[in-house]
Amino acid sequence: MADPINREHLEWLREIAFDPRVGGASTKGAIALTRYFNRQTGDTFVSLETLGNALGVSARQAARMIDELESTGHLNAERIGKRKPNRYSPRRLA
């Protein structure tokens, strides 16, 4: 049986993939984020540096991807503070 969290994340990625407001780089960022989502809570505290390294981009570019996902309504981002990773959680539009 499929894991409900994985199913939710797959549906979240499908919404992003078919949203014309989200660019290809941000879609790739969303896919990378799913690698770090907690299996119980469904969210992550991954740092921009870690996300950027996983994608082969700078932390600043990773931040732009996060900003685009947040501004299009696909991601909740809770800013924790300097030198601490932010909390990210997927937000379904449907």
Residues listed for the chain: 94
pLDDT digits (tens, 9 = 90+) for 24-43: 999 999 999 999 998 888 88
Question: For residues 37 and 43, what is the distance between their CA atoms, to the nearest angstrom?
Answer: 5
Secondary structure (3-state) at 1: coil
Any residues with CB less than 8 A from the CB of 34 and at least 6 apart, and which? 9, 12, 13
pLDDT 10s digits, 47-74: 999 999 999 999 999 999 999 999 999 9
Q: Greater confidence, 7 or 16?
A: 16
The pTM for the full model equals: 0.88
For residue 86, what are its two tokens? 């932010």
